[in-house]
A and B are shown apart, each in its own frame.
Chain A
Amino acid sequence: MAHDSHEYIPEIAVDRNGNEHVVQGWQGDNYGGKLGFWLFMLTEVMMFGAMFMVLTYYFTLHHADFIKASSELDRTLGGINTVVLLISALTMGLGLLKMRSGDVKGAKLMIWATMLLAVIFLGVKALEWTNDYKEGIFLGLQGLQSGNEFSKPFGEILFFGMYFTMTGLHGFHIIIGIGLMLWLLKRINSGKVTPEHNILHFNIALYWDLVHLIWVFVFPYFYMTGAGAIHG
C-alpha cells in the first residue's frame, strides 16, 4: 500500500446539484484490503474443496477400506493438534485485539505465542508421520505401492495418499503462516503496522483462522471417520 509519508487526501466529486461526494481512492482503502484478502481465502476454499471432493469420490467407491484406514490413524496426536490449533486461534485473535486497543507490546507477545503453538503443531505432526513411517505407512513404501505382498487394498492406498497430501499441504500452510507472522513482527517493529494501520495484522489473523478452519474438516474426515469402527 501507499507509503505512509504521502498521506492520501481523498478527492471530492461534485454532482449536478452541487452536492459533494467523497471519492474512494485505492490508497488506504482498508475495507478493500480486507475484501481482497477474503477473496484470496476463497481460492484456498476452492483448492481444499477440490481435494475433499477427490477424497469423497474414493470414499464412495471404497467405503469399508476408508473406515479401516481411518481407524489406523493416531487419534490422540490428532486430537492434541486440534486443541493446539484451537488455542493458537485464540492467541492470534487476542493479539489483534491488543493491537487494536493500542497494546503493541502485548500484541507482539501474542503473536510469539501463536508461533510457538504453530511450531508445536508441526512437531506433533512430524512425530505422527514418523510413527506412520515406522508402521510402513508412507508414500513410496511398499504398503502404498501396488502389486506386492504388502500392498494394502486400493481404498487404503488412496486414503493414505490423500492423507499425506492434504495434511502435508495443510502443514505447508502452517509454515507459511509462521513466515507471515515473522514478517508481521518485523513490520510492527519498524512501525509500519500500528494500532491505526493494522490491516496486515488483521489479514494475517484471518489467514490463521482459515488454516484452523481447514483443519476443522481435515481432522474429523481423516481421524474420526473410522473411530466407530473400534467400538463396533
Chain B
Amino acid sequence: MSKSYFDETHCAFGHPKSTFMQWMLTVDHKRIGIMYAVVMFTFFFVAVAAALTMRFELFAPGQQFIDAHTFNQAFTLHGVIMVFLFIIPGIPAVFGNIVMPLMIGAKDVSFPRLNWFTFWLYIIGCIVALSSLFNFNIADGKLVFNFADTGWTFYAPYSLNTDTNVVTALVAAFILGMASILTGLNFLVTIHRLRAPGMDFFKMPLFVWGIYATAWIQLLATPVVGITLILALLEKYFGIGIFDPSKGGDPVLFQHLFWIYSHPAVYLMILPAFGIMSEIIPAFSRREIFGYHTIALSSASIAGVGYLVWGHHLFTSGMSDTAKTIFSFLTFFVAIPTGVKFYDWVATMYKGKIVLATPMLWALGTMITFAIGGLSGVTIAMIGADIHLQDTYYTIAHFHYAMLGGVVFLFFAGIHYWFPLVFGKMYNETRAKLAFYILFIGFNLLWFPMFIAGYYGMPRRYFDYLPEFQIYHQISFWGAIIFVSGLIFMFYTLIQGIRKGKPCGVNPWNATTLEWHLPSSPPPLENHTKVPYVDFRPYEYYHGQPVVKFDENMKRID
C-alpha cells in the first residue's frame, strides 16, 4: 500500500517520539476505544464505591455511619457517574470505536481527529465533574465535600435552590453531552460513507445497526438536554423565570425537557448492547441469525418510538391525564420490537450448536435479567400501576435490571467476546465462567428483593426507612457483597488474561463478521490489509463453519 498520512503519524498533530504521547495524541479508533475503556472503568469503580456506601448505610433503619445529606450526595454521585460518565458513552465509545470500523471494513472513522477531540472533551467533562465534588474553602484551606445532592435528574426547583455544586455538575453534564453528540455524528457519517464496497445497509452486522440507531439518538436527543441544562443555568444566574414558580414558571416543564432526552438515552444505552447480543448469539449457535431484517429494523423502530414516550416518567407529576394516556399508550409500542428481537434470538438457537463459552453465558444470562427488567418496565408503563410504584424501589429494581442486568451485562459479554480480538490472548475460561455465576447470583439477590420492597411502599432516595422494610435491604446488602466480589474476581481474571493469557489466533470463536478476518491480533494500525468486497450476509455458516474466507489480501477464497 502506498504511504499515507496515517503511516507517518497517526496522531492528531506532530510526530511524538514517546509512546505515552503517541497514545495521548492518537487518532487511531482502536486506541481511543481502549483509552475510553480505561477511564470509564476507573470512574465506574468510584460509582460502585458510592453504591456500596449506600448499601452499607441502608443495612438498618436509622443512621449508620453517614448523615442524610452525604447519603443524598452519594446517590447523586452514583447516578451521575453511572449515567453520564459510564453507561451513556459506554458501549458506543468503547466497542463502537474499536470494532464498528472493523466490522464495516473501514480504515478508521470518518473524522479521526474529531474522534480524538471528542475523547478529550469527554476527559474535560470528567474533570469538571470531579471538580464539582469538592469546595475549596480558602479561609481555612480545607476541602469540603460538596457534590450536588439533587439526584441525577436535577429536577427544578430543587436544583436551583440547593447550595451544593450543582452548577459545575450541570456544566460537566453539558460537556459530556457534547462529547456524546460528536461521537454519534462521527459514527453516522462513518456508517454512511465508509462501508466497504458492496456492503449495503442490510449486509451490515447487527452491532453496526445498533450503533447506527444509537448514533441518531445521541445526535438528536442530546441537544435537548444540553439546552435544558443551559436554561437551568440561566435561570439560576439571570432569573429568566421559566422554572421559577414565583415568576409563573412551571417545574413540570423542566421534567418534560429532561426526559425528552433522558428517556431516549435509555435506548441509547441498550441498543448497542442488543447489538452485542446479536453478534454473540449466532456466533455461539454456529448458525445464521434468525430474522436479520426484523432485528435490524426493530433497532430503528425502538429508537424512533423511544423519542415519543418520555412522559411515562411524569405519571404522578401533575401532568394532564390526557398526556398520561398518550404516553402510556405509546410506551407499550417499544416493548413490541424488543419482544421481536428476543424471539428472534431464541429462534436462532433452534437447531444450532450451542457453545457455552463465556460470552454466550453472559448473553443467555442477560436474556433472563433483561427480560425481567423489561417486563417490569412494562408494569410501570401502566399508569394506574405506576401511580403506586413511581419513585419506589420497584422503579429502582426495574432500571437496575435493565441497565446493569441488560446493558452492563452485555458490555461484559462484549468484553469477553472481543477480548481476544483486542489483546490477541485468551483469559482463563473456567474462571471467567465462575465469575459469571457469582455475578449472576449476586445480581438477583441484590435487586429482586427491591421489587417486593417497592411494591410494599419503600420510596427511593430514602436515607432512612420504616422498619418494615429492613429485611429487603439486608438481603440486598448481601447480594451486593457477592456481586462486588464477583466483579473483582472477573476483573482479576481479565487482567490476568492480558498479562499471561495464551495467544489465541485471529478468530478463536469461529465467528463470521469482518472484524475476525484481520491479518493479525491485536489488529494492525490500518486494520484490514485490503478493503474486502462485501457481497455476503454477515452471519453465513454452513455446517457450523463460517462460509466466507479470505486470503491475506482480503480476496475471497471460499
- Whether B555 is near chain A, meaning CB under 8 Å from some CB there, is yes
Give per-residue flags for B353-387: 1 if the beta carbon is below 8 A from chain A beta carbons, else 0.
00000000000000000000000000000000000
User: Which B residues, 212 to 266, have Cβ-Cβ distances below 8 Å to chain A?
Assistant: 219-224, 226-228, 230-231, 234, 238-242, 244, 246-250, 253, 257, 260
Measured CA separation A146–B242 after assembly (Å): 12
Does A35 contact B242, Cβ atoms closer than 8 Å? no
Does B246 contact A147, Cβ atoms closer than 8 Å? yes
- Whether A6 is near chain B, meaning CB under 8 Å from some CB there, is yes
- Whether B460 is near chain A, meaning CB under 8 Å from some CB there, is no
Does A140 contact B224, Cβ atoms closer than 8 Å? no
Does B223 contact A13, Cβ atoms closer than 8 Å? no
Does B193 contact A24, Cβ atoms closer than 8 Å? yes
- Whether B181 is near chain A, meaning CB under 8 Å from some CB there, is yes
Using A140-B238, A158-B241 as known contacts, list a sample of 18 further A-B pairs with CB atoms less than 8 Å apart, ordered by residue number in A.
Answer: A6-B3, A11-B1, A14-B555, A26-B109, A27-B4, A32-B111, A32-B192, A35-B189, A39-B189, A43-B185, A50-B227, A51-B227, A54-B231, A58-B242, A146-B244, A158-B242, A162-B242, A164-B240
- Whether B533 is near chain A, meaning CB under 8 Å from some CB there, is yes
Chain B residues contacting A43 (CB-CB under 8 Å) are 181, 185, 219-220, 222-223
Chain B residues contacting A39 (CB-CB under 8 Å) are 185, 188-189, 219
Chain B residues contacting A36 (CB-CB under 8 Å) are 110-111, 114, 185-186, 188-189
Does A24 contact B194, Cβ atoms closer than 8 Å? yes
Give per-residue flags for B537-558: 1 if the beta carbon is below 8 A from chain A beta carbons, else 0.
0000000000000000011100
Provided the pairs A46-B224, A50-B228 are in contact, do residues A23 and B240 lie with their beta carbons within 8 angstroms?
no
Does A35 contact B192, Cβ atoms closer than 8 Å? yes
Contact of A6 among B5, B181, B190 (CB under 8 A): B5
Does B194 contact A16, Cβ atoms closer than 8 Å? no
Residue pairs across A and B with Cβ atoms less than 8 A apart, 19 shown, are A2-B5, A13-B196, A14-B555, A16-B533, A22-B197, A26-B111, A32-B189, A36-B114, A39-B189, A42-B220, A43-B220, A43-B223, A47-B226, A139-B240, A144-B247, A146-B241, A153-B248, A154-B248, A158-B242
Provided the pairs A21-B198, A161-B242 are in contact, do residues A15 and B535 lie with their beta carbons within 8 angstroms?
yes
Does B4 contact A6, Cβ atoms closer than 8 Å? yes
Chain B residues contacting A44 (CB-CB under 8 Å) are 223
Contact of B239 among A51, A61, A144, A169 (CB under 8 A): A144
- Whether A150 is near chain B, meaning CB under 8 Å from some CB there, is no
- Whether A3 is near chain B, meaning CB under 8 Å from some CB there, is yes
Distance in angstroms from A79 CB to nearest chain B CB is 25
Please tell me the size bucket of the interface on B: 35 or more
Provided the pairs A22-B197, A39-B185, A50-B257 are in contact, do residues A13 and B242 lie with their beta carbons within 8 angstroms?
no
Measured CA separation A29–B107 after assembly (Å): 13
Distance in angstroms from B213 CB to nearest chain A CB is 15
- Whether B433 is near chain A, meaning CB under 8 Å from some CB there, is no
Chain A residues contacting B556 (CB-CB under 8 Å) are 16
Measured CA separation A14–B533 after assembly (Å): 6
Chain B residues contacting A140 (CB-CB under 8 Å) are 238-239
Measured CA separation A165–B228 after assembly (Å): 12
Measured CA separation A145–B246 after assembly (Å): 9
Does A27 contact B5, Cβ atoms closer than 8 Å? yes
Distance in angstroms from B182 CB to nearest chain A CB is 8
Chain B residues contacting A2 (CB-CB under 8 Å) are 5
Chain B residues contacting A16 (CB-CB under 8 Å) are 533, 535, 556
- Whether B531 is near chain A, meaning CB under 8 Å from some CB there, is yes
Distance in angstroms from B521 CB to nearest chain A CB is 22
Chain A residues contacting B190 (CB-CB under 8 Å) are 26
Chain A residues contacting B530 (CB-CB under 8 Å) are 11, 13
Provided the pairs A13-B530, A24-B193 are in contact, do residues A157 and B241 lie with their beta carbons within 8 angstroms?
yes
Does A145 contact B239, Cβ atoms closer than 8 Å? yes
Chain B residues contacting A8 (CB-CB under 8 Å) are 4-5
Does A158 contact B248, Cβ atoms closer than 8 Å? yes
Give per-residue flags for B1-28: 1 if the beta carbon is below 8 A from chain A beta carbons, else 0.
1111100100000000000000000000
Chain B residues contacting A157 (CB-CB under 8 Å) are 241, 247-248
Chain B residues contacting A139 (CB-CB under 8 Å) are 238-240
User: Which A residues, 102 to 161, have Cβ-Cβ distances below 8 Å to chain B?
Assistant: 139-140, 144-147, 153-155, 157-158, 161
Provided the pairs A39-B189, A50-B224 are in contact, do residues A26 and B110 lie with their beta carbons within 8 angstroms?
yes
Contact of B248 among A29, A155, A165 (CB under 8 A): A155
- With CB as the reference atom, state the residue of chain A lying closest to B224: A50
Chain B residues contacting A158 (CB-CB under 8 Å) are 241-242, 247-249
Please tell me the size bucket of the interface on A: 35 or more
Measured CA separation A155–B248 after assembly (Å): 7
Distance in angstroms from A162 CB to nearest chain B CB is 7
Chain A residues contacting B420 (CB-CB under 8 Å) are none
Distance in angstroms from A33 CB to nearest chain B CB is 8
Give per-residue flags for A182-202: 1 if the beta carbon is below 8 A from chain B beta carbons, else 0.
000000000000000000000
Does A29 contact B193, Cβ atoms closer than 8 Å? yes
Chain A residues contacting B246 (CB-CB under 8 Å) are 146-147
Measured CA separation A154–B114 after assembly (Å): 44
Provided the pairs A36-B185, A47-B224 are in contact, do residues A13 and B531 lie with their beta carbons within 8 angstroms?
yes
Measured CA separation A24–B241 after assembly (Å): 51
Contact of A40 among B106, B185, B228, B535 (CB under 8 A): B185
Give per-residue flags for B333-370: 1 if the beta carbon is below 8 A from chain A beta carbons, else 0.
00000000000000000000000000000000000000
- With CB as the reference atom, state the residue of chain B lying closest to A65: B248
Give per-residue flags for A54-95: 1 if the beta carbon is below 8 A from chain B beta carbons, else 0.
100110011000000000000000000000000000000000
- 4 tightest Cβ-Cβ pairs between the two chains A and B: A154-B248, A161-B240, A21-B197, A46-B223
- With CB as the reference atom, state the residue of chain A lying closest to B192: A35
Does A32 contact B193, Cβ atoms closer than 8 Å? yes
- Whether B282 is near chain A, meaning CB under 8 Å from some CB there, is no
- Whether B532 is near chain A, meaning CB under 8 Å from some CB there, is yes
- Whether A230 is near chain B, meaning CB under 8 Å from some CB there, is no
Does A15 contact B250, Cβ atoms closer than 8 Å? no
Distance in angstroms from A11 CB to nearest chain B CB is 5
Does B242 contact A26, Cβ atoms closer than 8 Å? no
Measured CA separation A40–B218 after assembly (Å): 11
Chain A residues contacting B189 (CB-CB under 8 Å) are 32, 35-36, 39
Q: Which of the listed residues A2, A43, A162 has the most CB atoms from chain B within 10 Å of its own CB?
A: A43
User: Which B residues, 411 to 444, have Cβ-Cβ distances below 8 Å to chain A?
Assistant: none
- Whether B112 is near chain A, meaning CB under 8 Å from some CB there, is yes
Chain A residues contacting B107 (CB-CB under 8 Å) are 25-26
Distance in angstroms from A175 CB to nearest chain B CB is 16
Chain B residues contacting A62 (CB-CB under 8 Å) are 248
Distance in angstroms from A60 CB to nearest chain B CB is 11
- Whether B108 is near chain A, meaning CB under 8 Å from some CB there, is yes
Distance in angstroms from A100 CB to nearest chain B CB is 22
Measured CA separation A146–B234 after assembly (Å): 17
Q: Which of the listed residues B8, B260, B531 has the most CB atoms from chain A within 10 Å of its own CB?
A: B531
User: Which B residues, 97 to 116, have Cβ-Cβ distances below 8 Å to chain A?
Assistant: 106-114
